[in-house]
């Protein structure tokens, strides 16, 4: 991956699938993007999922 910052690469987390609002966040984020380009939509979706993860997913607290 030449030229990509390792920290900016999006990584999907399978545990998100168990979250009750994951599919709503995914669908609304994908549909909110005004671009018809799939890569732009996926980039927008990835950014929104990362924000959602930070704001609403307390994985560490649930493990304790």
What integer pLDDT is reported at residue 20 of this predicted model?
Answer: 85
| CA distance linking residue 56 with residue 21, whole number of Å | 10
Q: What is the token pair recorded at 39?
A: 């890569």
- Contact between residue 12 and residue 19 where contact means Cβ atoms under 8 Å apart: no
Per residue in 11-58, pLDDT (tens digit) is 788 888 888 888 998 899 888 888 888 889 888 888 888 888 888 866
Distance, CA of 63 to chain centre: 21
Checking if the pLDDT of 3 tops 70, the result is no
């Amino acid at each position: 991956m030449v030229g990509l910052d390792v920290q900016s690469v999006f990584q999907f987390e399978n545990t998100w699938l168990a979250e009750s609002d994951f599919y709503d966040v995914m669908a609304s984020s994908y549909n909110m993007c005004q671009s018809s380009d799939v890569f732009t939509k996926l980039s927008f979706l990835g950014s929104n999922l990362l924000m959602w993860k930070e704001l609403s997913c307390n994985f560490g607290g649930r493990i304790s």
